[in-house]
Chain A
């Protein structure tokens, strides 16, 4: 038990290092898994989301959105790229229907994201409350869950997921509100560094993705994302996912089939 505690303590002290040399994540109970989710979120994930939402708050201010709509979008949409589209389209004077549709298109990634995370939670830990908890899923908590779920007891995953999501979601609206109020007072280089933390975080977590098919998918997505964006801003993500993902899947499947006797 003491060695177990040492592993957990160590984890808290230096989560960054743990990510490169991972022992299995062992929790004694679901309550402990929940707390560990809260604690892990309070490191890099919350900082990254806080910075991104701070930047979005400033963007909302500069575009001329009201304080409440800007903050509410973080609380209720909780999808940064979609929020940026939302804010920009309001600035261009698009109709409510068109704006909703465009935001929905950028949010399509939540379907495959939930479909890759939630099936890893065993059936006896899935209930209707997940329809509430799923709102706290962001790309940030998704990246952490994908990395750490395989290392823990499946029965503890739901509690960990809830802890992680709760903190990430919880910091977003306050960060947006602060960003809105501080807009214009923070020097531009600092704002830029904060806003860039968000994409940088995802880039760095790609380094920890192990399955070869997923690595190929990331590689292809890196090229297809910008390329398809030049063709169509609205359908870029869908096209990137479907084309890049399917090619990566087939590539590894064919490679594995050849490798077998």
Chain B
């Protein structure tokens, strides 16, 4: 039963932020300084979350060495930036990065 109540609390706690955003968004002008500031805050938050997951993961990812996670991120990012019509870009970058994780995982389990 605790599970269900906890889920209820977490669902409400999560949704409230989204609803608050809808309620307030009508008053925000995209050319305002406030909009520019809140965009910076959001990008800092999202980047903070992503780098935290990569450097200090909890759960499964913690089983990999930090070097493997950083190598995967670095290679993925490099491939993303590569201006090659087929071998560069988002999807090749994701494939390259996750291959590093796959190989690191295989090496570790041996």
Contact = CB atoms under 8 A, between A and B. Distances in A.
Interface in A215-237: 216-226, 228-230, 236-237
B41 A139 contact: no
A173 interface: no
Contacts of A141: none
A31 interface: no
A220 B41 CA distance: 10
A17 B79 CA distance: 12
B94 A201 contact: yes
Nearest to B11: A76
The number of chain B residues touching the other chain, given as a range, is: 35 or more
A245 B41 contact: yes
B12 to A, nearest CB: 7
Nearest to A88: B58
Contact of B49 (A109, A135, A205, A248): A109
A8 B57 CA distance: 39
B41 A242 contact: yes
B41 A224 contact: no
Contact of A115 (B21, B56, B60, B106): B21
Contacts of A99: 6, 9-10
A190 B60 CA distance: 11
Given A201-B90, A214-B43, 13 more contacts: A96-B9, A100-B10, A100-B12, A110-B17, A115-B25, A119-B26, A119-B30, A142-B46, A192-B102, A207-B80, A241-B41, A244-B48, A246-B40
Interface of A: 15-17, 19-20, 43-44, 47-48, 55, 58-59, 65-66, 69, 72-73, 76-79, 81-84, 86, 88-90, 94-97, 99-101, 103-105, 107-116, 118-120, 123, 126, 130-131, 134-135, 137, 139, 142-143, 187-207, 209, 211, 213-214, 216-226, 228-230, 236-238, 240-246, 248-249, 253
Which 8 pairs between the two chains have the least Cβ-Cβ distance?
A100-B9, A114-B21, A225-B48, A104-B13, A189-B105, A245-B41, A244-B44, A221-B47
